[in-house]
Amino acid sequence: MDKVVVITGASGGIGAALAELLAARGASLALAARREAELNAVASRCGERTLAVVADVTSRADVRRIVQAAIGRFGRVDVLVNNAGRGISRPPSQLTDEDIDEMMRVNVKSALYGMQEILPHFCGRGTGHVINVSSMLGRIPYVVTRAAYSASKHYLDALTANFRAEVQQTDPAIQFSLVSPGVVRTDFGMNARHGGPDSPQIPDAQTAEEVAAVIADVIESPRPDVYTRPGSRKRVAEYYKSVGEDA
């Protein structure tokens, strides 16, 4: 794979699994995360064609620095994977301003910054690919305690679709993809705001490696809207059929 790929949230979970998979396929990588020791450990496993950038993607300046560092090291970026994200465990009746703000900062603004900062580079080259890691909860709000997380992923889904519609009017070769996993066996649950269930203990959770394989396939064969589990698209359609009603 002769591509330069930037991955945020790369110090563990899906980001780390994707980095190791792409490195094995020959990609050059710029990996970004806040946790320096963990990030450097992932980078060391990925080999010499890997750049580690310690950064907080809720800061626009840091996201700009990630993009600039990747271009400075490799001369170009082919793919940006906005993977950083965080969950929350609190029912909607108890949500605070800071709960909502945190979900928007981590799950929406980080991706917005990434898309806006990489866009001039992609437009200058006439090609590029953004992959935003969303969630089934961005399609179906079926976990009450994840209300704010679900809402942030709904926002991300809409933002991605509208970014695609805008950019492809003038630059049709620039791709925008959404990848929507369900529950994944990572530290996501334990790291959620206000705590939460341990994701690996939830029945039928996917491995990070399974989700990474789907994302890698999207890099090779771009398409706009991808689920990581069979039957997910049907499940979404059935949900909206069950709650919808014509006027």
Domains, the chain, in order of start with CATH, read: 4-243 (3.40.50.720)
State how far the Cα of 24 lies from the Cα of 47, in Å rounded to an integer.
9
Among 149, 155, 227, 239, which one carries the catalytic annotation? 149
Mean pLDDT of 87-101: 96
Rounded CA-CA distance 87/19 in Å is 22
DSSP string over 101-124: HHHHIIIIIHHHHHHHHHHHHHHH
Q: Which tops the pLDDT comparison, 204 or 218? A: 218
| Residues of the chain above pLDDT 90, percent | 85
pLDDT grade for 80, boundaries at 50, 70 and 90: very high
Q: Respond yes or no: is residue 149 known to be catalytic.
A: yes
DSSP category for residue 205: P
Gap between the Cα atoms of 91 and 187, Å rounded: 21
Nearest CA among 215, 236, 238 for reference residue 136: 236
Longest dimension (CA), the chain: 59
Q: How far apart are CA 54 and CA 21, in angstroms?
A: 21
Q: Does the structure show a pLDDT above 70 at 69? A: yes
Q: Is the pLDDT of residue 52 over 90?
A: yes
Burial class (CB in 10 A: 0-12, 13-18, 19+), 75: exposed
Phi, psi of 186 (to 5 degrees): -135, -170
Mean pLDDT of the region 170-181: 97
- Per-residue model confidence (pLDDT) at position 191: 80
Please give the pLDDT value at position 246. 66
pTM for this model (two decimals): 0.94
CA atoms of 171 and 115, how far apart (whole Å): 14
pLDDT digits (tens, 9 = 90+) for 120-171: 999 999 999 999 999 999 999 989 999 999 999 999 999 999 999 999 999 9
